[in-house]
Amino acid sequence: FIPSLSGKHVLITGASTGIGLSLSKKSLQEGAFVTLVARKSDKLEEAARFLIKEVQCSPNRILTKVSDVGDYAAIARVIEEALTWRPIDVLICNAGITRSGFFEDVSVEDLNAVVQTNLLGTVYPVHAALPSLKERSRSHPVAIVFIGSLASLAWLYGSSVYTGTKHAVKGIAESLAMELVPFNMRVNLVCPGFVESAFLDDVSTDPELVEGMRWTCLYDRRRAQSADEVAKTSIAGIKAGSFLITTTPYLGSLIAVLTRG
């Protein structure tokens, strides 16, 4: 669908660490211009310096923008500024957080943060960018990429609200894909399993919960995939125009375990 990312503009939310950073690296390695979005400016600038050194690319190929994806006005401004740099070809909604724990133990503040970031923070950038993406698609293929999770496809023990937001992301991706059929656009839903990143530091270490996750989700941090592996599979799927991109080798067996009940 998109034969090459060379010269394309890829905007990635949550780009300063983990999967977002690896997606940024892979996009730059393929010759793209990349806008990196995250909340903490120091980590964002550190990420940009790392990428310039790692990829050995010109700083002119990277734009950094500080924003909270859960703040519509802020993310809409970032989209506008990124568009004045160059038209967006690939929008990757990756920013996401977890606050795992038994349902009643998760604070209301944490519940709100997970919904605001994972659900609204995924919808907002797409809503703000869609008119320009449609316009761009008149002359170039355009991709909207949602970073879901295995929690988009199945349940995740001890992460009920996170799972709810990731199921919602799948619903949004499916419905939007239908709506965009008349355009030269694709929606991609990436569903990684466990990935080694700072994200896993926020998974509860309560032994009872970890044991439950081990039995129901095959959770074992030592078996987590690398963010680079996820980025490689994701970019290949985006270029191919695949709707569902699963990145974990054991997702098939996991779903078999889950659906056995």
Active site amino acids:
162
Q: Rule CB under 6 A: is residue 124 a binding residue for ligand NDP?
A: no
Q: Which of residues 137-176 bind ligand NDP (CB under 6 A)?
A: 147, 149
Chosen residue from 24, 94, 204, 234 binding ligand NDP by CB under 6 A: 94
CB of 120 to ligand NDP, least distance (A): 9
Chosen residue from 32, 51, 57, 96 binding ligand NDP by CB under 6 A: 96
Q: Rule CB under 6 A: is residue 200 a binding residue for ligand NDP?
A: yes
Q: Rule CB under 6 A: is residue 49 a binding residue for ligand NDP?
A: no
In angstroms, rounded to a whole number, what is the distance separating the alpha carbons of residues 27 and 34? Answer: 7
Q: Give CA separation, 143 vs 50, 89, 136, 194, 233, in Å.
A: 26, 6, 11, 24, 15
Chosen residue from 27, 100, 117, 137 binding ligand NDP by CB under 6 A: 117
Tokens standing for 54?
């790692």
Q: Rule CB under 6 A: is residue 17 a binding residue for ligand NDP?
A: yes
CB of 135 to ligand NDP, least distance (A): 25
CB of 175 to ligand NDP, least distance (A): 19
18 residue type, one letter: G
Chosen residue from 100, 194, 218, 237 binding ligand NDP by CB under 6 A: 194
**Among residues 68 and 137, whose Cβ is nearest to ligand NDP?**
68
CB of 126 to ligand NDP, least distance (A): 14
CB of 181 to ligand NDP, least distance (A): 26
| Residue span binding ligand NDP (CB under 6 A) among the ranges 53-61, 76-84, 95-103, 104-112 | 95-103
Q: What does the binding site for ligand NDP look like in residue numbers (CB under 6 A)?
A: 13-20, 38-40, 43, 68-70, 94-97, 117, 121, 147, 149, 192, 194-195, 197-200
